[in-house]
Structure 1
Amino acid sequence: MTHDHHHEIPRYTPEQTELALNPPAGRNGGDLVVETLHGLGATTVFGLPGQHALGMFDALRRSDLDYIGLRVENNAGFAADAYGRVTGEVAPLLLSTGPGALTSLAALQEAAAASSPVLAISSQIPSAGLGGGRHGYLHELRDQQASFRDIVKSVHLVRTASQIPSAIAAAWESALTAPHGPVWVEIPQDILLKETTLPLVTAVDATPRELLPRPELIAVAAHALSHARRPVIIAGGGVVRADAAGKLRALAEKLNAPVVTTFGGKGAFPWEHPLSLQSWLEDRHTTDFLEDADVVLVVGSGLGELSSNYYTFRPRGRVIQIEADLGKLESNLPALGVHADAREALSALLESVTGREGAEAARDAVRTVLEKVRARLDAQDLALEQRVLASVREALPATAPSFWDMTILAYWAWSAWPGPMHSGQGAGGLGYGFPAAIGAAAADVTKPVLAVSGDGGAMYSIAELATARQYDLPVTWLIVDDGGYGILREYMTDAFGETTGTELARPDFVALAESFGVPAVRTSPEALREDLSKALAAPGPSVVVLPALLKLFAPTHLA
């Protein structure tokens, strides 16, 4: 029997063997962790130390990994999430036991919803306390892994030092196998602290598995698309994660198919392309147009709440859904489900479809839809909101990434922002914007990063002003201060006629930022573009506060 995938194990030279036989003294289980991460290609780790995790943190001192320490574990998780999104690489997140680990859960939920490859490595109480008893250790949980299993892609338990490299490698492979996602490794305190005589970890293999489409499904999908009269494409976050925007564009042009991008798929298709329907998914004109298509190709989206215009999207044509997350196939609509990585499936379709005529008709149809959307917006009193968003867009350099909290301006940006953006809309928790921007800045300190929050969401992450200052990261934080939870204020007013719990006392954000040593300015809608441009151009962190009461455009899924 022959093995097609037989890897030759490299033969060690006498010098390498000598080094393996005589590893440096003073290493512990924590060293095995950081050596494995380094061997897998990690360069930056995020986290927060805690009593049981100190073996890992001591080992960082002996490694050349860059460490970015945040002030709250959830924020460290958001930073790792953003690092994974902008680099496409695994972002290690070092956590302690119990409260420290649990505080990261909301960030890991966002990473799971957004398919971000975060590798959380948590400590655990000493091995002697494991096994179901209640030993009264600090931070002890009855079953720590149970708290993570519902959220992460995979759980990897370590119980001896020699398990560390393989467990981390398996977690790494899981995080980067489509769909990307957060994974969790647990290592008891005593294993991290105990001295080890194991050789230095060098070569570690953790190649993600390829998720290839089945050929019979591609044949059927290609036939349907080639013979469609009015094909459309819905492009989701899976296209961005798979780095498949180029393939998507080539397919759309070959088929003359209009493309709409979901809020999580911003940047999957050029905004100003003649086939671009942009991202007006909460507009009924877009929904009607999509419903009228005879073939709908959905790539890298589960057609969840936002992407389906709050589940009102009822296509009359045939749906073909390409999705790497098996659980999302046909979860919301009947479809020809193709379980595959977006890039692989789009490549296969591109080779299999025959080009369609009808370029002019497709472009005219797109123009008509966008004109209807524009007319609907212009009929509402939304000049302030549109001016504020335009000012932010004009101030931000083209290559600079932006990270948006769950705030009214972000709800605008999902539909109206003309390019890539990252937001906390996967799971929808508050506090994402600023710590995420810190993670992106840590990945590339050569260009500015923008964070956008409301005053409510900003209060979740104020502590990270200290982090931005400590590491001198080029993050500019725009805080839109409307005195409360603005979107909840709108929802409650619409539903109940009055609000409860939405109005917030808040600090003087400018004085507060300055107390951290971070320069800050209070701006106005008129001065926003200039003030934000200046802040983004200056080195290091900065804060721009915009007191403004913004409104959301009227939703049309109710129409």
Structure 2
Amino acid sequence: MTHDHDVVLRPTEAQTRAALNPPPGRIGGDLVVETLRGLGATTVFGLPGQHALGMFDALRRSSMAYVGLRVENNAGFAADAYGRVTGEAAPLLLSTGPGALMALAALQEAAAASAPVLAIASQVPTAGLGGGRHGYLHELRDQQGSFRDVVKSVHTVRSQSQIPSAIAAAWESALTAPHGPVWVEIPQDVLLAETRLPVVTAVDATPHDLVPRPELTAVAAELLTHAARPAIIAGGGVVRADASGKLRALAERLDAPVVTTFGGKGAFPWEHPLSLQSWMEDRHTTDFLEDADVLLVVGSGLGELSSNYHTFKPRGRMIQIEADLGKLESNHPALGIHADARIALSALLETVGERTDPAAADSVRTVLAKVRERLAGQDLDAEQRILAEVRAALPADAPSFWDMTILAYWAWSAWPGALHSAQGAGGLGYGFPAAIGAAAADPTRPVLAVSGDGGAMYSIAELATAKQYDLPVTWLIVDDGGYGILREYMTDAFGEATATELARPDFVALAESFGVPAVRTSVESLREDLGKALAAPGPSVVVLPAVLRMFAPTHL
């Protein structure tokens, strides 16, 4: 009797000969690159450093594309965006110590946003591990300890034979729901030593399916079928699971209104009769959701932004489908279903009954009308016009990446459809390097990045990257002379702002010094100037001098 786990795959005679006679001139770095190719990786991001040179030398012998950014944190943001738009694990090659630590904030964003980034860092030589006593350049006492609290999993290598298995395990971890960044580290001497190990070919690292418990989905289906006022909150887990079609089918079967969180934008059609859009920072929206007798939350932990700053208090029965066990029922008691959104929604669609509520669409229209009326009384026409002009200039299928800036905060609520931002961890500097990562994934369509002048200074160096690789990234910089949202927060809280005003360069001249075409625009010419920049090949910069205001908070 033979069990599945007893099956041995026997190599062919040709495979055996090739394994016994590997090509000369290979080092440990080649095992890294060969494993990545065997897993299906086609593009890597990173920045070389002394201890990591073995990996970068191996890239020279590989068919993989390399996108080298100028700052490790920006390389991490680029890998994050590549992972978000492709759904594939994005390799990020880093050096030791300072080079590795520079990527920490980007990995925090990837963790908060469940982006599958595969960070592979070098280490000091094996003899220097475990104590910080040897005085190696870049040495840390416990490098992996600096990342363990941020990434999803940590994988260490101490010999060349461990490289393929460690990277495969990390790849599998990154792509098993919930997606997330993972950490692999390999000592310098292991990367540089010549190897006689066979060439790594196909590698099996199939992610695990996260399947819901059937008794829980049965209860959920019963609650939803018999609900009087069901409603749905769709989070980023729906987008990552490619489950928007199933979400729409369920909403239509139940006649249930749907609101998308800021991370879940694009999970539900913006103009659908059941779409409450994304006005999560609005009491009219959260009052409506609180009144639902059965509230289905899919792919969201209902954190700070998704709960109107923790003022959201649902009164009915809540069902929460969440792949991240740490987020399941972390903020509200619920029927918690630990599962991938797509699989769980499929299970619900098999058993949920059909209900009809002619008043549902009317209720949605009433809520959205109240939202518009509230905004109309705040003298915010300029902000709404700018956002509309940007949307009109951007081709429908072009992705956009937004830094932490006032226009992005508007976009979270008001942008019609999908967008990507750094609202997971909230660090500055995300927009432009992330757009570079998306453009590397698909250089046939334009990509928009949006930053304020403060956030733009975090990533100015990447103009050189965009130019070097001739990537179709248009960077809209809204220049308000400082950290605009902090200026507004401090003025509201203390009567005046401190440390928010910034000296800044002439962004147009600076971009042109990199060989990147740039234009200074106005609200009146924004659509035309931005449209021309997006239509032109290669990178470009559009600078909009404007002081914007946020809409008044409604959670107080």
Q: TM-score, normalised by structure 1?
A: 0.99
User: Any idea what the Cα deviations from partners look like across 1:111-160, whole Å, max 9, x if unmatched?
Assistant: 00000000000000000001225110000000001100010000000000
User: Is residue 37 of structure 2 the alignment partner of residue 38 of structure 1?
Assistant: yes
1:299 aligns with 2:298: yes
Residues 281-325 of structure 1: CA deviation (Å, up to 9, x unaligned): 001000100000000000000000000000000011000000000
Instruction: Find the counterpart in structure 1 of residue 393 from structure 2.
Output: 395
AA partner of residue 391 (structure 2): R
Matches within 5 A, 1:393-432: 393-432=391-430
Q: Give the equivalent residue in structure 2 for 1:142.
A: 141
Letter in 2 for 1:506: R
Partner of 2:334: 335
Alpha-carbon offset, residue 10 of structure 1: 3.8
Residue 494 of structure 1 aligns with an amino acid whose one-letter code is: D
Whole-Å Cα distance in 2 between the matches of residues 6 and 238 of structure 1? 33
Letter matched to residue 427 of structure 2: G
CA distance in 2, matches of 1:526, 1:150: 47
Three-state SS of the structure 2 residue aligned to 1:94 is: strand
For 1:324, the aligned partner's letter is A
> Which aligned pairs between 1:346-365 and structure 2 lie closer than 5 A?
346-358=345-357, 360-365=358-363
Distance 1:202 1:241 in 2: 28
Aligned counterparts of 2:231 and 2:136: Cα–Cα separation in 1: 58
Q: Does 1:545 align with 2:540?
A: no
1:520-539 to structure 2, matched below 5 A, reads: 520-539=518-537
How large is the RMSD of aligned CA atoms in angstroms?
0.9
Q: Which moved more, 1:304-313 or 1:133-142?
A: 133-142
Aligned equivalent of 1:279: 278
Match of 1:454 among 452, 455, 459: 452
Q: What aligned pairs does 1:144-543 form with structure 2 within 5 A after superposition? A: 144-358=143-357, 360-543=358-541
Q: 2: CA distance between counterparts of 1:152 and 1:379?
A: 44
SS of the aligned residue for 1:298 comes to: strand
Q: Verify the 8 A CA contact 2:276 2:364 in the aligned structure 1.
A: yes
CA shift for structure 1 position 262: 0.1
Alpha-carbon distance between aligned partners in 1 of 2:494 and 2:461, rounded to the nearest angstrom: 34
Q: Which stretches in structure 1 are left out of the alignment for 5+ residues?
A: none
Q: In structure 2, list runs of 5 or more residues that go unmatched.
A: none
User: Match for 1:89: what amino acid?
Assistant: E
Instruction: Report the Cα offset of residue 165 of structure 1.
Output: 0.1
Q: Using a 3 Å threshold, how does the CA distance of structure 1 residues 61 and 9 change in structure 2: closer, same or farther?
A: farther
Cα shift at 1:6 = 4.4
Question: Residue in 2 aligned with 1:125?
Answer: 124
CA–CA distance in 1 between the matches of 2:87 and 2:14?
35
Partner of 2:107: 108
Q: Deviations over 1:458-503 (max 9, x none)?
A: 0000000000000000000000000000000000000000111100
- In 2, the alpha carbon distance for the partners of 1:542 and 1:169 equals 38
Could you tell me which amino acid in structure 1 is paired with residue 263 of structure 2? G
Give the aligned residue type for 1:401.
P
Classify the secondary structure of the residue corresponding to 1:265: coil
CA distance in 1, matches of 2:16, 2:536: 51
| Structure 1 residue 18, shift from structure 2 partner | 1.3
What secondary structure is seen at the aligned counterpart in 2 of 1:278? coil
Q: Distance in 2 between matches of 1:328 and 1:398?
A: 33
SS at match of 2:73: helix
Deviation digits for residues 220-242 of structure 1 (CA, Å, limit 9, x no counterpart):
11110011000000000000000
Does the residue aligned with 1:263 lie in a helix, a strand or coil? coil
Q: Distance in 2 between matches of 1:267 and 1:133?
A: 48
Q: Deviations over 1:196-221 (max 9, x none)?
A: 00010012100001100001100111
Give TM-score scaled by structure 2 length.
0.99
Partners of 1:293 and 1:250 lie apart in 2 by: 19
Q: Hey, what's the Cα distance between the residues in 1 that align with 2:356 and 2:380?
A: 39
| Contact map agreement 2:158 2:186 (CA 8 A) in 1 | yes
How many residues in Structure 1 have an aligned counterpart in Structure 2? Answer: 556
1:55 aligns to 2:54 (yes or no): yes
> CA separation in 2, counterparts of 1:445 and 1:357?
45
CA apart distance, 1:12: 2.3
Q: 1-side partners of 2:173 and 2:316: how far apart?
A: 35
**CA contact 2:31–2:163 (8 Å) conserved in 1:** yes
Where 2:118 maps in the other structure, the secondary structure is strand
Instruction: Rate the CA distance shift 1:467–1:9 in 2: closer, same or farther, 3 A.
Output: farther
Q: Which amino acid aligns with 1:208?
A: P
In the aligned structure 2, how far is the partner of 1:80 from the partner of 1:186? Answer: 17
Native 8 Å contact 2:132 2:139 kept in 1: no
